[in-house]
């Protein structure tokens, strides 16, 4: 194969490509952190080199799709292909420049890459029509990243994408956990690849074969409900024939720590509060305020609270703001397997996170660890999380209390719902999972709102810089002028 990888693939990534390339329909069922995005980008490059395609379409959730154009494609696509490629990320044809790009990419002679958020496929007729036009005019491969977003066969996004799928020469779905709730979640995702690919074109027939149904009465109405599943060995074999499945534990050559960033957009309510407070901070800065690093950090943390979904008003009362952050966390949890630590800087967030996780995974699935938890309950939380037979799946804590002196090596995943600005707390909290006794690679996921202090805090931590050293002199201005 003449294709030269820009970043060296791991053995399991080479195997994924070996399995997928000969097939028109295929599923990358690769756990988050195992590098399925790199596999897809390399496959696009190989198929283009082989003159099988001249375009690629990537459909991904809002928190993910910008990562493709901003980080993943520039990181993994070979320079000669990247230099000759034209990329377009859909944002609604909101500017004259975007309209020009959208029109010119249709006839571009090189590799054309369209990246679109899955929400637009169902919420915008303009997006759907443009996607249809692009797929009609180009010989493309289409990739649905985090394909559990189309697991509901009744949803408009699933219906629209399934209608357009035949226009693509190659069709792919990508997810780390294809059946987060039920084996029936396979149906819509694989029907996008090709109706009937795993046994039935019709959901009712598919459900009848693989689910045990029972007639029950709810509110005076007779309703058929799923009470169990059957023929799962057959279903597993059908799926296996058209997919490549790997978990982090099976990827023996992965580094000990794998880092992933998940973007989450601010709501309109958050944006309004953020802009107002940022302008207030900037005005104070211009007036000669912020004489000390502590004063600057206080302002940064006020902005950070807004990003996390709450603000303290003039009376000192906590006010909740509408936020997408908890849902972003739940979306990440859908994509991963194994026990998970969730770090959150603010106790208010710990309560909200715990409640949301219990609603989805059950009351016994979550333990908390923070300054308000007594010593006996702290011991119970650690022991329950470490016990492989315990139902405890999530350890939700703040870094100031839980980041020191305890062992949480049962964790396969660590999610930073919000980061503490203190570098020591970040390093210590990472080491709760990755220390003596840990035998597997650990996935670290940072939930971040782009173009805010949230992103700046993470950048400083990644570069192992103390924020106190970064908010002096002329550097102060950058925290308030280059944010949203």
Give pLDDT tens digits for 165-178.
999 999 999 998 88
Average pLDDT over residues 22-43: 96
Secondary structure letter of residue 133 according to DSSP: H
* pLDDT tens-place string over residues 401-431: 999 989 999 999 999 999 988 889 999 999 9
Percent of the chain with pLDDT strictly greater than 90: 73
Residues 337, 314 share a domain: no
The predicted pLDDT at position 410 comes to 93
Residue written as token pair 């001249």: 54
Q: Is residue 207 part of a domain?
A: yes
- Specify the pLDDT at position 250: 86
Please give the DSSP secondary-structure letter assigned to residue 248: G
Least-confidence region, from 94-98, 365-369, 448-452, 469-473: 469-473
- How many Å apart are CA 329 and CA 327, to the nearest integer? 5
Question: What is the DSSP secondary structure assignment for residue 105, as one 8-state letter?
Answer: T
Tokens, residue 23: 């097939």
- Rounded CA-CA distance 380/403 in Å is 17
Distance CA 196, CA 35 (A): 28
* pLDDT(81) > 80: yes
pLDDT band at 224 (very low <50, low <70, confident <90, very high): confident
* pLDDT at residue number 266: 94
What was the pLDDT predicted at 483? 45
Instruction: Report pLDDT digits (tens) over 231-256.
Output: 999 999 999 999 999 988 888 788 88
C-alpha distances (whole Å) from 327 to each of 32, 88, 120, 137 are 17, 27, 18, 36
**d(Cα 232, Cα 227) in Å, to the nearest integer?**
14
Q: Taking each helix axis from N to C terminus, what angle separates 156-164 and 125-137, rounded to the nearest 10 degrees?
A: 20
Q: pLDDT band at 2, cuts 50/70/90? A: confident
Residues 148 and 203 in one domain: yes
More confident residue, 438 or 179: 179
Contact status, residue 167 vs residue 192, Cβ threshold 8 Å: no
Q: What is the 3-state secondary structure (H, E, C) of 26-74?
A: EEEEECCCCCHHHHHHHHHHHHHHCCCCCEEEEEECHHHHHHHHHHHHH
What's the pTM?
0.85
- The mean of the pLDDT values for the chain is 91
Q: What is the C-alpha separation between 360 and 340, in angstroms, rounded? A: 15
The continuous run of DSSP H or E covering 87 comes out as strand 86-89
The answer to whether residues 314 and 400 belong to one domain is: no
**Residue 301: Cβ-neighbour burial (10 angstroms; 0-12, 13-18, 19+):** middle
Q: What is the mean pLDDT of residues 184-192?
A: 96
Count of the separate structural domains present in the chain: 3
Asked if 77 and 15 sit in the same domain, the reply is yes
Number of other CB atoms surrounding residue 201 within 10 Å: 12
CATH number of the domain encompassing residue 185? 3.40.50.10810
Q: In the numeric block, which tokens belong to residue 300?
A: 């940064």
5 domain residue, yes or no: no
- Does pLDDT of 435 surpass 80? no
Q: Is 2 a domain residue? A: no
Instruction: Answer whether 144's CB lies under 8 Å from 173's CB.
Output: yes
Q: What is the pLDDT of residues 331-352, one digit of tens each?
A: 999 888 899 999 999 999 999 9
> Collapsing DSSP states into helix, strand and coil, what is residue 439?
coil
Of the listed ranges 41-45, 277-281, 304-308, 321-325, the least confidently predicted one is 277-281
Q: What is the pLDDT of residue 281?
A: 82
Is the predicted pLDDT of residue 139 greater than 90, yes or no? yes
| Shared domain check, 101 and 236 | yes
* 164, 235: one domain: yes
Main-chain dihedrals φ then ψ at residue 224, nearest 5 degrees: -85, 125
Among 277, 294, 320, the domain-final residue is 320
pLDDT of residue 296: 80
- Let me know how long the chain is: 484
Q: How many CB atoms lie within 10 A of CB 127?
A: 20
**Domain identity same for 404 and 305:** no
Place of tokens 């396979």: 186
Helix %, strand %, coil % of the chain (to 5): 50, 20, 35
Mean predicted confidence (pLDDT) in 459-478? 72
Considering the domain architecture, whether residues 116 and 241 belong to the same structural domain is answered as yes
**When comparing pLDDT for 300 and 291, which is higher?**
300
Flag the least confident range among 227-231, 246-250, 291-295: 291-295
Residue 29 CA to residue 12 CA, distance in Å, equals 12
State how far the Cα of 416 lies from the Cα of 262, in Å rounded to an integer.
Answer: 10
Query: Model confidence at 484, in pLDDT bands (50, 70, 90)?
Result: very low
Distance CA 102, CA 118 (A): 17
Sole residue written with tokens 């603000």: 311
Q: What percent of the chain has pLDDT over 70?
A: 95
In a domain, 477, yes or no: no
Question: Domain for residue 343, yes or no?
Answer: yes
Q: Is residue 441 part of a domain?
A: yes
212, 347: one domain: no
C-alpha dihedral sign at 397, 400, 403, 406: negative
Do 371 and 303 lie in one domain? The reply is no
Average pLDDT over residues 446-458: 92
Confidence label for 8 from pLDDT (cuts 50, 70 and 90)? very high
> Quick one: pLDDT at residue 136?
97
Is 80 exceeded by the pLDDT of residue 131?
A: yes
In a shared domain, residues 305 and 419: no
Q: Which domain holds residue 302?
A: 268-320
Question: Strand, coil or helix: what is 168?
Answer: coil
Taking residue 14's Cβ as centre, other Cβ atoms within 10 Å add up to: 14
Using pLDDT thresholds of 50, 70 and 90, give the confidence band for residue 291. Answer: low
What is the C-alpha separation between 46 and 76, in angstroms, rounded?
12
pLDDT at 90 over 70: yes
pLDDT confidence tier of residue 289, bands split at 50, 70 and 90: low
**pLDDT surpasses 60 at 34:** yes
Q: Cα–Cα distance between 396 and 14 in angstroms, integer?
A: 36
Residue 472 domain flag: no
CB-CB contact of 476 with 285 (8 Å): yes
Does 372 map to a domain? yes
| pLDDT in the model for residue 151 | 94
Given this model, what pLDDT does residue 469 score? 66
User: What mean pLDDT is predicted for residues 181-201?
Assistant: 94
Indicate if the alpha-carbon torsion angle 307, 310, 313, 315 is positive or negative.
Answer: negative
Residue 94 has pLDDT above 90, yes or no: no
Rg (CA), the chain: 24
Q: Give, rounded to a whole angstrom, the gap between the first and last alpha carbons of the chain.
A: 45
Task: Kindly report the CATH number assigned to the domain that includes residue 423.
Answer: 3.40.50.300
Clarify whether residues 198 and 298 are in a common domain. Answer: no
The DSSP bridge pattern shows strands 318-320 and 310-312 to be antiparallel
Residue 470 confidence (pLDDT):
67
């Amino acid at each position: 194969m003449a294709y030269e990888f820009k970043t060296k693939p791991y053995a399991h990534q080479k195997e994924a490509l070996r399995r997928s390339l000969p097939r028109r329909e295929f599923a990358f069922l690769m756990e988050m952190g195992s590098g399925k995005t790199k596999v897809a980008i390399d496959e696009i490059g190989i198929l283009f080199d082989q003159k099988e395609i001249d375009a690629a379409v990537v459909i991904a959730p809002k928190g993910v799709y910008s990562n493709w154009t901003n980080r993943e494609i520039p990181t993994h696509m070979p320079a000669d292909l990247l230099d000759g490629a034209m990329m377009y990320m859909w944002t609604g044809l909101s500017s004259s420049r975007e309209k020009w790009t959208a029109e010119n990419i249709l006839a571009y002679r090189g590799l054309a890459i369209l990246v679109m958020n899955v929400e637009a496929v169902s919420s915008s007729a303009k997006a759907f029509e443009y996607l249809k036009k692009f797929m009609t005019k180009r010989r493309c491969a289409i990739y649905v990243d985090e394909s559990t977003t189309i697991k509901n066969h009744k949803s408009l996004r699933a219906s629209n994408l399934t209608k357009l799928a035949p226009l693509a020469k190659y069709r792919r779905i990508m997810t780390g956990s294809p059946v987060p709730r039920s084996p029936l979640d396979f149906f819509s995702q694989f029907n996008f690849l090709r109706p009937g690919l795993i046994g039935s074109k019709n959901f009712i027939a598919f459900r009848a074969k693989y689910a045990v149904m029972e007639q029950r009465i709810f509110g005076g109405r007779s309703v058929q409900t799923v009470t169990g599943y059957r023929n799962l060995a057959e279903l597993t074999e059908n799926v296996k024939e058209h997919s490549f499945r790997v978990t982090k534990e099976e990827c023996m050559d992965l580094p000990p720590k794998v880092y992933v960033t998940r973007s989450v957009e601010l709501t309109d309510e958050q944006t309004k509060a953020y802009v107002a407070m940022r302008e207030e901070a900037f005005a104070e800065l211009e007036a000669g305020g912020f004489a000390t690093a502590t004063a600057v950090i206080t302002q940064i943390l006020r902005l950070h609270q807004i990003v996390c979904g709450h603000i303290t008003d003039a009376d000192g009362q906590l006010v909740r703001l509408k936020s997408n952050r908890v849902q972003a966390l739940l979306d990440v949890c859908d994509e991963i397997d194994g026990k998970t630590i969730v770090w959150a800087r603010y106790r208010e967030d710990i309560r909200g996170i715990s409640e949301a996780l219990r609603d989805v995974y059950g009351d016994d699935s979550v333990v908390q660890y923070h300054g308000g938890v007594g010593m006996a309950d702290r011991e119970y939380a650690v022991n329950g999380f470490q016990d492989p037979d315990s139902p405890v799946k999530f350890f939700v804590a703040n870094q100031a209390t839980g980041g020191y002196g305890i062992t949480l090596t049962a964790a396969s995943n660590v999610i930073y719902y919000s980061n503490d600005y203190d570098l020591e707390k970040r390093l210590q909290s990472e080491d709760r999972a990755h220390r003596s006794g840990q035998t597997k690679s650990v996935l670290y996921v940072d939930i971040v709102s782009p173009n805010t202090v949230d992103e700046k805090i993470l950048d400083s931590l990644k570069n192992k810089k103390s924020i106190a050293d970064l908010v002096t002199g002329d550097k102060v201005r950058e925290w308030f002028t280059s944010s949203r």
